[in-house]
């Protein structure tokens, strides 16, 4: 039997949910050097790095096995953030103070910003689709035809049975204002929920 390569985060997550031990092994091997480097550079040992990493993998595994959990960043970012928090807690328990962590924090911040941008774009797209559904007809057809299908206002006038292009333009404007109102209401509500969870 040929083993899957598990080249992407999505494949690894699916493999874990399908109880494929090889997916878990690939996950374990992928990111340990990153965590080892972080802990060795911050008053830790290789054995401590292994213990911290093992704990982070268990946390990640349990979350992925919970099908309600959605990973909104790269696996390595998630694993790194867990390990970083666990190690900081460990140092605190041992009463070891570090003025400045030597790690890839700048990389993680940049990566998180990139992920957040992608997440926000995806969120906006999803909310816009939902807003269009809530908008109803004939507004949905008018806006989709004009902005997505690139149909001229004159063609829309004929299709919708309006008397002239001015009527069609006015209707399009009113529909667009309604869509904006629905979208921003839903978007702001979604952001508040996310902040509340965080």
Query: Could you confirm whether domain 128-198 is CATH 1.20.1050?
Result: no
Specify the domain boundaries for CATH 1.10.1740.10 within the chain: 1-103
- The radius of gyration of the chain from alpha carbons, rounded to an integer in Å, stands at 25
Residue 40: other Cβ atoms inside 10 A: 14
**pLDDT tens by residue, 173-198:** 999 899 888 888 887 776 665 444 44
Q: What is the mean pLDDT of the chain?
A: 79
Q: Residue 156 contacts by C-beta under 8 Å, 6 or more apart in sequence?
A: 142, 145, 146, 162, 168, 172
Closest CA to 131 of 81, 80, 181: 181
pLDDT given at position 74 = 81
Cα–Cα distances in Å, from 160 out to 125, 141, 155? 27, 9, 9
Name the H helices within the chain. 9-17, 21-40, 46-65, 75-93, 105-135, 139-143, 153-160, 165-197
17 within 8 A of 64, measured Cβ to Cβ: yes
**pLDDT tens by residue, 114-168:** 455 545 556 677 788 888 888 889 998 998 888 878 889 999 999 999 999 999 9
Return the CATH number of the domain spanning residue range 1-103. 1.10.1740.10
Whole-number Å distance between alpha carbons of 7 and 160: 50
Specify the domain boundaries for CATH 1.10.10 within the chain: 128-198
**Both tokens of residue 80?**
């790194």
**pLDDT tens by residue, 81-106:** 888 889 888 888 877 665 555 554 44
Q: Residue 161 contacts by C-beta under 8 Å, 6 or more apart in sequence?
A: none
């Amino acid at each position: 039997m040929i083993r899957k390569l598990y080249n992407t985060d999505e494949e690894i997550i699916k493999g874990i949910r399908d109880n494929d031990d090889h997916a878990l092994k690939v996950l374990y091997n992928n990111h340990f050097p990153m965590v080892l480097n972080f802990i060795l550079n911050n008053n830790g040992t290789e054995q401590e790095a292994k213990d911290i990493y093992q704990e982070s993998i268990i946390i990640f595994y349990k979350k992925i096995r919970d099908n309600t959990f959605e990973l909104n960043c790269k696996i390595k970012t998630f694993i790194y953030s867990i390990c970083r928090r666990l190690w900081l807690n460990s140092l605190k328990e041992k009463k070891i103070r570090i003025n400045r962590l030597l790690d890839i924090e700048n990389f993680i911040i940049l990566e998180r910003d990139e992920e957040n941008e992608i997440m926000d774009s995806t969120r906006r797209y999803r909310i816009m689709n939902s807003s269009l559904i809530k908008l109803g007809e004939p507004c949905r057809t008018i806006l989709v035809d004009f902005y997505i299908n690139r149909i001229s206002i004159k063609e829309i006038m004929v299709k919708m049975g309006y008397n002239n292009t001015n009527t069609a333009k006015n209707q399009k404007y009113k529909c667009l204002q309604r869509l904006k109102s629905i979208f921003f209401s839903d978007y702001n509500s979604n952001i508040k929920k996310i902040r509340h969870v965080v």
